[in-house]
Copies of this chain bind each other. A is one copy, B any other.
Amino acid sequence: LEANSTARSTPGTISCPICLDSYGEIVDSGRLVVSTKCGHLFCSQCLRDSLSESHTCPTCRKRLTHKQYHPIYI
């Protein structure tokens, strides 16, 4: 999964590296932008789906549980 490279479309703007949705698409659809404890950002739906399969960060593969991420407000 090349999540990290695809996320870097425009530095300083936010998109989900899994579904590639922009910040606007994420919030307009009622999802949240979430950050893992390791500092990687996703839309809430993609991270939830990923954690149901594997307890690791999709970007850096560090161990990650449901308690180790939080929404960010921007």
Residues of A within 8 A of B (CB): 7, 11-14, 22-24, 27, 35, 37-41, 59, 70-74
Contact = CB atoms under 8 A, between A and B. Distances in A.
Contact of A74 (B12, B37, B70, B73): B12
Q: So how many copies of this chain end up in the complex?
A: 2
A72 to B, nearest CB: 5
Q: Select the residue from A27, A39, A70, A71 with max chain B CB neighbours within 10 A.
A: A39
Contact of A73 (B24, B40, B73): B40
Q: Select the residue from A7, A40, A70 with max chain B CB neighbours within 10 A.
A: A70
Nearest to A14: B12
B7 A39 contact: no
